[in-house]
């Protein structure tokens, strides 16, 4: 088996006395989509922030391409090829698609004080990258504020891919989107996978996760309920585990108790 | 050039409706100011067309007023696009003036030393304003409001302490002998104007000299600074960072834009622009007054807003600010020529500002909403 792009071993994170995460084992290989599923408060956010270099793990270790790493900042994670697209997207809605695409990493022409923003090149790349994912930016100089939510999400992802991400961490990219917008993003995730990227896709929507996921990691109350290959589980099983299947079973049992008590 | 043709080919998309020129223009931040300037000139052309306002001397007069404000407005516009305010620029004009004048007139220091010293003070003041703003996260409006009073107070206090008065004069002679002062005083293109006068294209005085000796140096600084600012804003990485900082500083920081550094540099720029204005004024008048630059901070903000800057940052234009200052200067001077009591100037100013803000708000909504 090839070395996974990113792997965690018994990783945990505590904030004071609160155990936010513990014993997380997961790995993503190139060309694989890992879906991270969990209800609210399951620890999804803490996990991705740890992977993205915002937090440092309190225990366990994290490996990138087989080597243990410790990120001090999101910048470090980015340099290691791990790009996180947070829900707020890091986009400025008043700025053009091109200017957002290259924000912080503007291509320049010329040297020294005469180095200038290469607008022609930037416009062309932004258009091409967006075209690759099937989004037709009508005009790359239009403000990002004029794009739909799904398109914005795709610009953010395309930007991460263009700047050399090996692992994409997507934080609930489809949660605020309608059906057609969400499928646009899902199609792009599948595309990124086929280009050899590792994708960690965080969501609480099984219907979005199941079609594109290769493996599923379920989180509940800061712990992993296990990793499953797609072949091993059905959509219903995933849903059941996620929705706290155990709790539902207990509830069933309790209700049965009441029934017996009534009968008796 | 090949880039452009390739681009044009790529943009030939049947779903992209041909945007009309008018629509494209409407999306430009400086549109309001340019349209306003046209209206102002139409108005004064009709009302005061034959009053001497548009004689060579009259033109130079309102251009010079516009230029001094314009230099300030361009720097303030950059800062506003970057998402901050600087209310201390007016006080900085007063401070820079005495930093130049006291050593030169009282202690006999050469101007080529005093002028760079004033810019040094400006860099420090700008750094201080910027550092406090980015470190505390307080609104720069408040931080620089404090700066406004502190700086003005220091200026008056020190000047009275050293000279016993609040005015420092006697620089006229010193300025004439200084090589550096020449950059900030006098007129440009004297030869051209003499030639124009001899050719009969320009009115002559009784002694044969042209009525205006040349273009005031402030106008050249204004145009030059405006051009550089526009270039930086639209064609450099730093320009993109300015928009990013003002548009959404968290987003900018997340993608690696050095937000704090950008803001501090912008604060330094406004303070230096104030010092440039002060230098030109001091050398022109031959004296410095501790009260110089009073209320200039607001005039500069008004010019920037008329020029299309949003108060919330992230949008605006340096060219717009230049036109904003032009409107300001033209009306301020022009109102004398109309015979209307100058008391009404402030009313005009307020109304103009209100219209500009409402118009900008409308433009912003157009830009950020799907077309």
The full set of domain ranges for chain A reads 6-91+167-177+197-263
pLDDT in tens, A197-256: 899 998 878 888 888 889 888 888 888 877 888 878 777 777 777 665 566 677 778 888
CB-CB under 8 Å, B247 with A94 = yes
C-alpha dist (Å) from residue B70 to B125, B277, B330, B333: 21, 10, 12, 15
| Chain A nearest-CA residue for B27 | A142
CB-CB under 8 Å, B252 with A103 = yes
Average pLDDT over residues A191-198: 88
Q: How many CB pairs under 8 A join A and B?
A: 103
Instruction: Give dist(CA A95, CA A144) in Å, integer.
Output: 6
Q: What is the pLDDT of residue B13?
A: 47
Band (pLDDT 50/70/90 cuts) for residue A45 is confident
Band (pLDDT 50/70/90 cuts) for residue B8 is very low
In this structure, of B26-30, B273-277, B308-312, the range with the lowest mean pLDDT score is: B26-30
Band (pLDDT 50/70/90 cuts) for residue B3 is very low
Residue B299 has pLDDT above 90, yes or no: yes
Q: What is the pLDDT of residue B221?
A: 96
Q: What is the pLDDT of residue B224?
A: 96
> How much is the ipTM here?
0.79
| Chain A nearest-CA residue for B81 | A94
In this structure, of A55-64, B15-24, B169-178, B266-275, the range with the lowest mean pLDDT score is: B15-24
Residue A257 has pLDDT above 90, yes or no: no
Cβ contacts (< 8 Å) between B257 and chain A: which residues? 103-104
Q: What is the pLDDT of residue A244?
A: 59
CB-CB under 8 Å, B368 with A116 = no
Residue B300 has pLDDT above 50, yes or no: yes
Judge: domain A6-91+167-177+197-263, CATH 3.40.50.410: no
DSSP state of B183: G
Band (pLDDT 50/70/90 cuts) for residue B64 is very high
| Chain A nearest-CA residue for B262 | A104
Residue B364 has pLDDT above 90, yes or no: no
In this structure, of A211-215, B19-23, B222-226, B325-329, the range with the lowest mean pLDDT score is: B19-23
Q: Higher pLDDT residue, B311 or A230?
A: B311
Q: Rounding to the nearest 10 degrees, give the CA dihedral for residues B165, B167, B168, B172.
A: -150
pLDDT in tens, A138-150: 788 888 888 888 8
């Amino acid at each position: 088996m090839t070395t996974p792009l990113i792997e965690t071993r018994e990783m945990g994170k505590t904030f004071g006395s609160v155990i936010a995460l513990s014993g997380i084992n997961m790995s993503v290989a190139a060309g694989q989509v890992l879906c991270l599923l969990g209800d609210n408060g399951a620890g999804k956010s803490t996990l991705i922030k740890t992977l993205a270099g915002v937090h440092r793990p309190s225990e366990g270790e994290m490996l990138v391409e087989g080597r243990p790493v410790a990120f001090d900042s999101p910048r470090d994670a980015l340099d290691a090829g791990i790009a996180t697209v947070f829900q707020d997207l890091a986009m400025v809605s008043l700025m053009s698609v091109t200017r957002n695409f290259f924000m912080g990493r503007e291509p320049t022409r010329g040297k020294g004080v005469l180095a200038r923003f290469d607008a022609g090149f930037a416009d062309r790349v932004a258009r091409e990258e967006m075209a690759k994912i099937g989004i037709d930016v009508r005009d790359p100089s239009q403000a990002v504020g004029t794009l739909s939510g799904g398109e914005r999400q795709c610009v953010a992802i395309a930007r991460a891919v263009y700047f050399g991400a090996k692992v994409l961490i997507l934080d609930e990219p489809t949660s605020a989107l309608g059906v057609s917008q969400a499928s646009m993003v899902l199609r792009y995730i599948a595309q990124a996978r086929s280009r050899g990227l590792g994708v960690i896709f965080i969501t609480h929507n099984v219907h979005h996760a199941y079609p594109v996921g290769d493996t599923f990691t379920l989180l509940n109350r800061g712990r992993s309920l296990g990793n499953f290959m797609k072949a091993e589980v059905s959509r219903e099983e995933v849903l059941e585990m996620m929705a706290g299947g155990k709790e539902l079973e207990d509830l069933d049992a309790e209700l049965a108790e009441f029934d017996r008590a009534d009968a008796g | 050039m090949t880039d452009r043709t390739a681009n044009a080919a790529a943009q030939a998309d049947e779903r992209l409706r041909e945007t009309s020129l008018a629509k494209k223009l409407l999306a430009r931040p400086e549109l309001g100011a340019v349209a306003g300037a046209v209206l102002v000139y139409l108005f004064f052309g009709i009302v005061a067309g034959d009053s001497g306002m548009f004689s060579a001397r009259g033109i130079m007069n309102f251009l010079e007023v516009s230029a001094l404000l314009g230099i300030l407005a361009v720097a303030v516009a950059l800062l506003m696009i970057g998402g901050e305010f600087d209310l201390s620029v007016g006080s900085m004009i007063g401070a820079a003036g005495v930093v130049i004048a006291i050593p030169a007139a009282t202690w006999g220091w050469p101007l080529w030393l005093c002028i760079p010293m004033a810019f040094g003070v400006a860099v420090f003041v700008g750094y201080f304003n910027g550092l406090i703003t980015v470190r505390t996260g307080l609104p720069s409006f408040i931080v620089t409001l404090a700066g406004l009073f502190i700086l003005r107070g220091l200026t008056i206090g020190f000047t009275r302490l050293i000279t016993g008065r609040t005015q420092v004069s006697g620089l006229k002679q010193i300025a004439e002998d200084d090589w550096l002062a020449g950059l900030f005083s006098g007129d440009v293109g004297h030869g051209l104007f003499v030639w124009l006068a001899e050719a009969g294209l320009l009115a002559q005085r009784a002694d044969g000299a042209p009525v205006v000796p040349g273009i005031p140096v402030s106008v050249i600084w204004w145009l030059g600074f405006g051009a550089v600012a526009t270039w930086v804003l639209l064609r450099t990485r730093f320009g993109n960072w300015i928009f990013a900082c003002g548009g959404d500083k968290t987003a900018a920081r997340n993608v690696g834009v050095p937000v704090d550094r950008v803001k501090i540099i912008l604060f330094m720029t406004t303070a230096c622009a104030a010092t440039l204005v002060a230098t030109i004024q001091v050398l022109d008048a031959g004296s410095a007054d501790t009260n110089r630059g009073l209320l200039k901070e607001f005039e500069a903000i008004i010019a920037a807003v008329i020029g299309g800057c949003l108060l919330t940052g992230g949008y605006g234009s340096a060219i717009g600010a230049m036109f904003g200052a032009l409107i300001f200067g033209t009306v301020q001077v022009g109102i004398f020529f109309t015979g209307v009591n100058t008391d009404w100037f402030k009313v005009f100013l307020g109304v103009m500002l209100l219209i500009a803000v409402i118009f900008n708000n409308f433009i912003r909504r157009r830009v950020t909403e799907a077309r």
